[in-house]
Amino acid sequence: MKSFYPPERTLMGPGPSDVNPRVLAAMARPTIGHLDPEFVRMMDEVKQLLQYAFCTSNEMTLAVSAPGSAGMECCFVNLVEPGDKVVVAQNGVFGGRMKENVERAGGTAVMVEHTWGAPVDPGRVEEALKANPDAKIVAFVHAETSTGALSDAKTLVKLAHDHGCLVIVDAVTSLAGVELRVDEWGIDAIYSGTQKCLSAPPGLSPVSFAPSALDKIKARKTKVQSWFLDLQLVMAYWGGETKRAYHHTAPINTLYGLHEALVVLEEEGLEKSWTRHAHNHAALREGFEAMGLNFVVEAKSRLPQLNAVSVPDGVDEAAVRSRLLNEFNLEIGAGLGAMAGKIWRVGLMGHASNTTNVLFCLGAMDAVLGAMNAPIRPGAAVGRAREYYRAK
C-alpha cells in the first residue's frame, strides 16, 4: 500500500470547506502531550478564541474531541434526562437528527415540522409550547445545512425562555458565517463544527454552555449516559474551577488546526467575516439568477454560506457534480434526505468564501450545464458576478 496524496479540490459543498494553508501547516506541527504545560496553555487560548467566536463569556466553552454530530449528542445527553419533553423544530435533516438524540437520551420529542427550505416559524413553536407546558427544552437549527435556511435564533430563544424552557442551538454551519451572539441572545447550549465557516479540518465540535444549562446538568438525578461526552468529566480536563484531570486524549494536532483557524478569524474580525460571507453570497446569487437557477429558500432567510438551488428540469444532478469534480476539481453538494436529487448545495464557507471561488464556480457550472444542454441562460453568470464585485 502506498502513501495517499489527495487531489487538490476547491471545496464548495456543505463542508468541509477549503482549509487555509496556515491551518494545514499547523496540523503538521510536532505532536506534544495532552497534559504538556504548553498544550494546556494552547487549550486556554482555544477556549478564549471560541468565546470570541461565539460572543460569549461562558466558562464552559470548549471543543468536544469529535465532529459536530458528537457536539450535538454532547448537548442532548447532558441536558436531556429520561422523561424530559423537548420541543424540536425541524426544517431539514438535522432537526431529525435532534429527534433521534432526544429519544435515545430517554426524552420525548415534540416535533414541530416545517416545509424543508423554510425557516423555523416562531408562531408554530409558540403553539407547541402552549400545548406542552411541561416542555423543558426547545431545540432548533440556526443554519440548516441541508436546505440553506437561516432561522431567527434571537426570537426563538426569547420565546423558549418566556415558556420556561432552555434552548439547544445547532450552529454547525452558522458560526463565523452569520451573526450569532450567544450571550446577548441568551442561548443556553450551542454546538458547532470546525469544517464549515471556521475552515479547519473536521474532527472537533466547539460547544458552549451557559450557567443556566450547567444548573440543569448539575441537578440531574441520573448519570449522563455517555462517559466520553459527560460534560462534568470533560470540563475537568479543559480546566475551570479545578486542576486539569486526565479524561481522554485530545486530538492534539486537530486542535493546533482549530487554534490557527480561530487566530485567522480574530485577525479578520468576526463582524468582518460575517460581512464577507454576505458579500460573496450576493455575487454568487447575481450569477445564479443570471443563469436562471432558482434558490430553494426565500430571499430573507437565505444563508450566505450555503446556497441551495433547484436542479433544472431534466438535468441529471449527479452527472453535473461528477463533471465538476472530474473536470474542474470542484466539489459542490448534493441534496440530503427529501432533497436528494432535487437540489445542489453550493457552499461559500470561511476561507472558501472569496471572489475567486465565486467566479470559478459560476464559470464551471455555466460550462457544464451548457454542455449538457440544461435549460439555463448560458454565458451570463460570470460577467454578472464580476459586475457586482466591480460596483462594490
CB 109 within 8 A of CB 88: yes
CB nearer to its own copies: pick between 51 and 58 = 51
Kindly list the distances between the CA atom of residue 182 and the CA atoms of 62, 165, 234, 244, 306, in Å, as whole numbers in the listed order.
14, 16, 21, 26, 21
CA 294 to chain CA centroid, Å, is: 23
Nearer Cβ to its own copies, position 68 or 148?
Answer: 68
Comparison of 6 and 133: residue with beta carbon closer to its own copies:
6
φ, ψ of residue 62 in degrees (nearest 5): -165, 180
Q: Is the Cβ of residue 43 or residue 291 nearer to its own copies in the bound state?
A: 43
Q: Which residue has the cell 491551518?
A: 23
User: Nearer to its own copies by C-beta: 139 or 291?
Assistant: 139
At residue 108, φ and ψ (nearest 5 deg) are -115, 125
Residue 39 vs 360, nearer CB to its own copies = 39
By DSSP bridging, strand 343-347 and strand 189-191 are unpaired
Give least dist CB 35 to its own copies, A: 8
- Taken in order 84, 54, 18, 362, the sign of the CA dihedral is positive
**C-beta of residue 341 within 8 angstroms of C-beta of residue 350:** no
